[in-house]
Structure 1
């Protein structure tokens, strides 16, 4: 049964758990980047580690079908426990190595990244499908805005703290805190009420049949059909930027502290967008906001390419955060409003997996080049990718102004034309 009140117990627990996880994840993202960079001195190795974390997303569509079949709560708790133990292992080894003078073996770091990514491939579709079960449909825009604003507030605190924590102590401390946050999230989830199995869930003999049913559902909408390659394009463009930025900060002489402030400015932009959606909710035009998001983020990346010095980078990072917030929050809300609950796990999984494929493949392809090409050039390439994404979204707005009413499985067994 969908809660009537926005501020119900399950939503509050979900909000608190997600916020503290975001804080710790911000710490760990800085810590892991500089742990690998300090051990190897190579941005290319950072690309390999990030690719190891993202490659398991290839199995996310099947994970989404599995989540739709068994419910949301057990996969979420299990994935958080596994990720917590993995981070505690890497952080503990890094702390021990700090005392003995030995590096954490790269195969351990990359292996933990792979297993963490595998757990995340289960948690991500479950988390994407959870919010419509926690709040009423009319409250989804506000709930997404609150989730985004609180998460980015904690992300800001985490990035500010992470840069100073890594510089003053070591990456190990931040990674250990991230592991503890996963275990805390798993504990909080015990008090969250989620459906064991979504109402209206169709029965089938295999996960593959469930996945095909979800794909048939997506083909009934032009937006859902084109969105996977669109997300693929954007993520493929962003991937290299994630690994060259820490090295660029080292080149500019600002190191972990400067990188933490850079990420904090991006988080501030996303926070402002979250507050905007939390305040105005359904009064905002979701599709137009998404188009504006592509425009702002593309302009920001172009500015980073043209003026790769620290102060302009900070200003552009704020604008980039505004743009990403305007893309992510409306898209998530559109999916939650337009896709039947019984298919949300699969749809979120397909989109996340297809988008994630582009990033590790790009990282593996460019890893030999990131240390040879000018660092700022990658921002320019990212700007081109975002511009293409904006052009595609603008065309979709004209072709399909609204996602059509999507049918349940029994009515999509036969091919149906797009509306």
Structure 2
């Protein structure tokens, strides 16, 4: 079946494209604006910390996503971001723009953005057949990551031509368009559970229920089969945060905002290529742990050596290829969770997954920004790549990780059954 004949999928995909254009332009503009106003990797590190910190809010949102209607959530988050983004152009016009204002608004904007992606991923199995999930995830990744290809390069050019502040104005319009597109989605109402209804139970019971459901999502991820994989992803996200916040300074040293845009474009091309290749590589037949180990061994080596290249064009190409394995593994883990987790738990598991895997990114941002001041941005990027190599080696020699099942063998009993057994014992 052509997925785009499905109206809900079509509008969800189109909305993701429009809002992801806004997200991509915003991230580049915000990081460059902070570097321009503050003049130091310390401020970009702090910006990275404050921007990624809202993952904790995403972590708490899981049970809520499982209960409320997705459509109003998507619409309202877009409208709120539209209004918040307008503050920066107004501050610039009335001459009270400062690095403190940008740093204050960034985490608030990202809190609402963090609610959108897990809600979309949790809703996907409600209108897409199981045998189409890998293809649907690939399309969603195209919208979530792939659109960054053009946007990151364009953002670098736009910063030079019109300035970062004008990009905020453009982003505000894009989020308004996203809200209009999401308003066309038609979902069936969530079935109400009389015992657990958020709206009708007492506050005390709501908190207990929320806490219990939150634990359900975490238990799956902290089970024996997932915990070591999760630990490695925490390390990778830590060094990823460190690399991201020193890229403006590294790009400025290499040539300016254009290089920043090209590096981010190369990163997006690598991730997109991996996502698009994933359905054709048939990696579902291989053990997931070994696929992850080999993928990030390759990624880490390329990540580290990219900064050693004598020519800028070669450095950009190698840095982009380093992100290709990550694009492949993102598709695999999404399909794995969607097949192995009951639909009523998907919201809390996806929220917990995104939050726990990215919990180290705020710390990595602060660490990378501080080390960038002391040792230089090139050193931070090189060291980050070496850290990824060690994670790949750990997964390769660890028996629990290397023996994770193939995705073809995963069903709803794979992880929930193990979690229940562990609880009983």
With the length of structure 1 as denominator, give the TM-score of the two structures: 0.87
Among 132, 137, 140, the residue aligned to 1:139? 132
How far apart are 1:415 and its partner, in Å?
Answer: 4.3
- 1:174 is aligned, of 159, 163, 167, to 167
Report how far residue 165 of structure 1 moved.
Answer: 0.8
Task: Report how far residue 236 of structure 1 moved.
Answer: 0.7
**SS at 2:140's partner residue?**
helix
Deviation at 1:305, TM superposition (A): 4.0
Q: Flag the 1:417–1:298 CA change in 2: closer, same or farther, 3 A.
A: farther
Question: Following TM superposition, by how much is the alpha carbon of 1:273 offset from its aligned partner in structure 2, in angstroms?
Answer: 2.2
Change in Cα spacing, 1:416 to 1:286, as seen in structure 2 (3 Å) is same
**The one of 384, 403, 409 aligned to 1:399:** 403
TM-score (norm 2): 0.86
Contact 1:238 1:359 in 2 (8 A): yes
Distance 1:282 1:382, change over 3 A: closer
Which of 114, 117, 120 is 1:124 aligned to? 117
> How big is the shift at 1:157?
1.6
The separation in 1 between residues aligned to 2:220 and 2:193, in whole angstroms, is 14
Asked if 1:6 is matched to 2:9, the reply is no
Map 1:6-85; keep pairs closer than 5 Å: 6-7=3-4, 8-85=6-83
User: How many pairs align?
Assistant: 408
1:339 paired with 2:366, answer no
Alpha-carbon distance between aligned partners in 2 of 1:224 and 1:376, rounded to the nearest angstrom: 33
Deviation, structure 1 residue 412: 6.8
Which of 215, 220, 225 pairs up with 2:218? 215
SS, match of residue 306 in structure 1:
coil
2-structure distance, mates of 1:316, 1:149:
21
| Aligned counterparts of 2:368 and 2:157: Cα–Cα separation in 1 | 30
Tell me what 2:200 maps to. none
In structure 2, the residue matched to 1:263 is 264
8 Å contact from structure 2 (residues 55, 111) kept in 1? yes
1:353-412: CA deviations, max 9, x gaps?
123321112323443332121221112221233223323444344333255634899997
Looking at structure 1, the residues matched to 219 and 338 of structure 2 have their Cα atoms a distance apart, in angstroms, of: 17
**Are residues 48 and 312 of structure 1, via their aligned partners in 2, closer, same or farther at CA, if it must alter by over 3 Å?**
same
Alpha carbons 1:199, 1:342 under 8 Å: kept: no
Q: Give the superposed CA RMSD.
A: 3.0
Contact 1:44/1:368 (8 A) holds in 2:
yes
Inter-partner Cα distance in structure 2 for 1:85 and 1:27? 16
Q: Distance in 2 between matches of 1:333 and 1:233?
A: 22
Residue 248 of structure 2: aligned partner: 246
Distance 2:141 2:418 in 1: 35
* Runs of 5+ unmatched residues, structure 2: 198-204
Q: Quick one: distance in 2 between partners of 1:361 and 1:411?
A: 32
How far apart, CA to CA, are the structure 2 residues paired with 1:266 and 1:148?
14
